[in-house]
Amino acid sequence: MAPAKFPASSATERILTLTNHLKESLNPADDIHKAKMAAPYKFQGWLGLDKDATKGKMVWQEYEPKTWTEDDVDIKITHCGICGSDLHTLRSGWGATLYPCCVGHEVAGTAVKVGKNVKHIKVGDRCGVGAQSGSCLDCEECADGKEQHCRSMIGTYNGKYPDGSKSYGGYADYCRAPGHFTVKIPDGLTLEEAAPMLCGGITTFSPLVNNGAGPGKKVGIVGVGGLGHFGLLWAKALGCDEVVAISRSTSKKEDAMKIGATKFIATEEAGWNKKNSSSLDLIVSTVSSPDMPLAGYLQLLRTNGQFIQVGAPEDNIPAFNAFALIAKGCKMGGSCIGSPKDIANMLDFAVKKQVHPWIQVRPLKDANQAVVDMEAGKARYRYVLQNEAHAAALKA
């Protein structure tokens, strides 16, 4: 503490001034305030420190979460799904990552601290947060309930809040996120089932619902993986007349049919596109390969059909002839996750229709190996990390 400067005055005045200065410097109210602000738990998790993180090189470390506000919720994490986005981010595939980075945006658990401005979540509630944890809440998109399209969108990890603090994800013990983007998890879904729905689920649910999937429609899902298997589940639950799984080989055909497909197309088979030409009203593409046979996919569309891309390659998608769209009046578009309201509606739909994802639960302590296995394509069809201590405490 720097020495105080006192005016030249009487000894009594100097003593009083010194006493007041010390009171201000050592105000116990400040210490009490700081104690109240400090959480009684540590924020620690698996952090990627550089581009080699996907090679099993994440490290367990403590970190500083976003600055607490009364609009926030602290979640004691029991489960977190592993998403392809995690791998892209860990290796800086979509651009330079803000290392150190704790990925995971399929976060589920229980609320342990709730800001006074948050009305829909209470301490003890089962809740979660998906791929988004911030937006301006003031623009046209936000006002229209499309927060995921806000130009000031903040990701649940690898993002920065307006005050400069960073966002950290769910490969961790706790997660702090704004209450606006925290959703309650309804009874009827386990936390391990709900977790992968918060990104993988909504990523495929939104384009299906928003583009008319349902009775009378024939829908194709490109890719039978973490995202694609959700697409098949939702299309079946929505009552589509035909649900077609489209994959490179037949290796996942049996699984696809069990998940909900009524037909399977393998693109390694000669003439697959001509044989199935003009047969689908809507295609949702979950693949993230820049080498996908896009021109062939477009051939599958019927007049006025729609092709919606949700998988995000690290490189450009292939070129295609514009007449693939012009000749049949087809449309090509994209879809980005969903709003908090969309996610809540999806979770309720999952309970109503008894939709259960195909998941493999892995211990959080083995996150490095789980990421390596995910990169190798071994997931069938969504890995979910379980914080074993927190999950056990919840069941006790």
Read off the pLDDT band of 35 (50, 70, 90).
Answer: very low
Asked if 196 and 79 touch (Cβ cutoff 8 Å), the reply is no
199 vs 38: which has the higher pLDDT: 199
Quick one: average pLDDT of 290-317? 95
- The predicted model gives 215-220 an average pLDDT of 98
∠ CA 146-148-154, rounded to 5°: 135
Q: Helix crossing, 340-353 with 226-237: angle to 10°?
A: 60
Q: What does the alpha-carbon distance between residue 212 and residue 343 come to, in Å, rounded to a whole number? A: 18
- Judged against a pLDDT cut of 90, whether residue 133 lies above it is answered with yes
Q: Which residues make Cβ contacts (< 8 Å) with residue 168, sequence separation at least 6?
A: 43, 45, 63, 65, 66, 101, 102, 157, 175, 176
Q: Taking 50 as the threshold, does the pLDDT of residue 204 lie above it?
A: yes
pLDDT value, residue 24 = 40
- CB atoms under 10 Å from CB of 152, counted, come to 14
Contact 121, 184 (CB under 8 A): yes
d(Cα 46, Cα 63) in Å, to the nearest integer? 10
Average pLDDT over residues 268-272: 97
CA angle 92, 98, 103 (to 5 degrees): 75
Each domain of the chain, given as residue ranges in start order, spans: 44-184+358-395, 200-334
Q: β-pairing, 331-334 with 301-309?
A: parallel
The Cβ-side half-sphere exposure at 164, using a 13 Å CA radius, reads 0
Q: Full-prediction pTM beyond 0.85?
A: yes
Q: How confident is the model at residue 271 (pLDDT cuts 50, 70, 90)?
A: very high
Question: Would you call 385 helix, strand, or coil by DSSP?
Answer: strand
Predicted pLDDT of residue 169: 98
- 44-184+358-395: what fold? Quinone Oxidoreductase; Chain A, domain 1 (3.90.180)
- pLDDT confidence of residue 230: 98
Q: Does domain 200-334 have CATH number 3.40.50.300?
A: no
User: Using 50, 70 and 90 to split pLDDT, how confident is the model at 396?
Assistant: confident
What residues have CB less than 8 Å from 220, skipping those under 6 apart? 244, 245, 246, 265, 280, 282, 283, 284, 297, 300
Query: CA 79 to CA 90: how far, in whole Å?
Result: 19
Asked if pLDDT for residue 1 goes beyond 70, the answer is: no
pLDDT category at 269 given cuts 50, 70, 90 is very high
Q: How are beta strands 174-178 and 182-184 bridged, if at all?
A: unpaired
Q: Reduce the DSSP state of residue 137 to 3 states and report it.
A: coil
Structure tokens of 304? 């006025």
**Rounded average pLDDT over 176-182:** 98
The percentage of residues in the chain with a pLDDT greater than 70, rounded to a whole number, is: 90
- For residue 38, the model assigns a pLDDT of 61
Average pLDDT over residues 42-52: 98
6: pLDDT strictly greater than 50: no
The pLDDT of residue 313: 87
Mean pLDDT (the chain) is 92
Tokens coding 282: 């809507």
Structure confidence at residue 31 as a pLDDT band (50, 70, 90): very low
- For 187, counting Cβ atoms within 10 Å of its Cβ (0-12 exposed, 13-18 middle, 19+ buried), the class is exposed
Report pLDDT for 34: 39
Q: Mean pLDDT across the stretch 278-287?
A: 98
Measured on CA atoms in the order 100, 90, 169, 143, is the torsion positive or negative?
Answer: positive
* DSSP per-residue string spanning 278-327: T-EEEEEE----TT--HHHHHHTEEEEEEEEE----SSPPPP--THHHHT
Q: Which carries the bigger pLDDT value, residue 356 or residue 20?
A: 356
299-326 CB burial, b ≥16 within 10 A, e <16: bbbbeebbbbbbbbbeeebeebeeebbe
- DSSP annotation of 166 reads B
What does the angle CA 147 – CA 77 – CA 111 come to, to the nearest 5 degrees?
A: 70
In the predicted model, what is the mean pLDDT of residues 91-116? 98
Picking from 269, 341, 280, 274, the residue whose alpha carbon sits closest to that of residue 308 is: 280
> What tokens does 174 get?
């706790």
pLDDT at 165 over 70: yes
**Are 44-184+358-395 and 200-334 equal in CATH topology?**
no
- Angle, helices 226-237/202-210, rounded to nearest 10 degrees: 40
Residues 6+ apart with CB under 8 A from 339: 145, 146, 147, 148
